Structure 1
Amino acid sequence: MLNKKYQDGMTGAGWVIVLAIVLFFMFMLIKLTPAYLEYFSIKSSMASVAEQNVGNSSTGEIRRLLEGRFNINEVKSVKASDAKIKDITGGRALYIKYERRIPLFGNISALLEFENEVPLN
């Protein structure tokens, strides 16, 4: 049978380490979640524009519709002018690629890269 000394559980130092790890991941979650929520708003805006059958519309008209969706969804990281209209097999696609740099602490930042493409057919 094991000695009672080895069955006491985690020490105070062990709890501090576990708490530090949990707090670090909670901090990261709090800092990064807004960027991902905005990305999902951008994807939703692009899909909404694509659903309007704008495949034959001018680039300016597509960007105007996209800018309106960005304003409604309060997208601040990108502008409709950052979106590209690409020629793809069978039509055109709305494409956007951007980066978000989020300061964490001191001189350490998180760099998030986002990319989305939606066919306009």
Structure 2
Amino acid sequence: MTQSRQRGLSLISVMIVGGLLAFVLLIAFRTVPAINEYMAVERIVKLVAEEGDGGATLTEMRRSFDRRGEIDDVSSVTGADLTISKIAGKVVVEAEYSRKVPVAGNVSLLFDFQVSSAGI
């Protein structure tokens, strides 16, 4: 009789792989709100730049950003944080901000976001 070797993962390796997967999922779930906010800011900045091209004043563009940001639950950036300039006859709206995402205990992730309507 020949003995066949069993193949597969041992209990310890299943626990290690499961722990790593749980950690990756934790990071992913914690970063989703920051990414969603970034995408909302990016969309709002482009809309505000279009309003500027349509003749809106700086104050109107900042207020528009604040209104739209309130609707989309943007809390990291306000209209006062925007850098608004005119380049080659087009209004360019930019924002730079950081978002700290707590992971576990005293461990956090820090995201630095840069948004521009110029599409750089």
- Tell me which stretches of 4 or more aligned residues in structure 1 moved more than 6 Å: none
User: RMSD of the alignment, in Å?
Assistant: 1.8
Q: 1:18 to 1:50 in 2, by over 3 A?
A: same
Q: Residue 88 of structure 1 aligns to which amino acid in structure 2?
A: I
Residues 62-101 of structure 1 correspond to what in structure 2 (within 5 A)?
A: 62-101=61-100
Amino acid at match of 1:15: V
Residue deviations 1:26-68, cap 9 Å, x none? 000110001000111111111222333x234321111011111
The letter for the 2-side match of 1:4 is S
> In the alignment, is the contact (CA less than 8 A) between 2:95 and 2:114 conserved in 1?
yes
TM-score of the two chains, using structure 1 as the length reference: 0.85
So what's the TM-score if we normalise by structure 2? 0.86
> Structure 1 CA distance, aligned partners of 2:88 and 2:19?
51
Aligned-partner Cα distance in 1 for 2:15–2:98: 35
Following superposition, the deviation at residue 80 of structure 1 comes to 1.1
2:4 is aligned with what amino acid?
A: K
- Kindly provide the CA deviation profile for residues 64-104 of structure 1, in whole angstroms up to 9, marking residues without a partner as x: 11111111112111111111113323333100010001111
Gaps of 5+ in 1: none
CA distance in 1, matches of 2:86, 2:48: 17
CA distance in 2, matches of 1:65, 1:3: 75
Q: Secondary structure at the match of 1:99?
A: strand
Say which is worse superposed, 12-21 or 82-91, in terms of deviation: 82-91
Matched, 1:109 2:108: yes
Identity %: 28
**Cα distance, 1:3 vs. partner?**
5.4
Which residue in the other structure is 2:26 paired with? Answer: 27
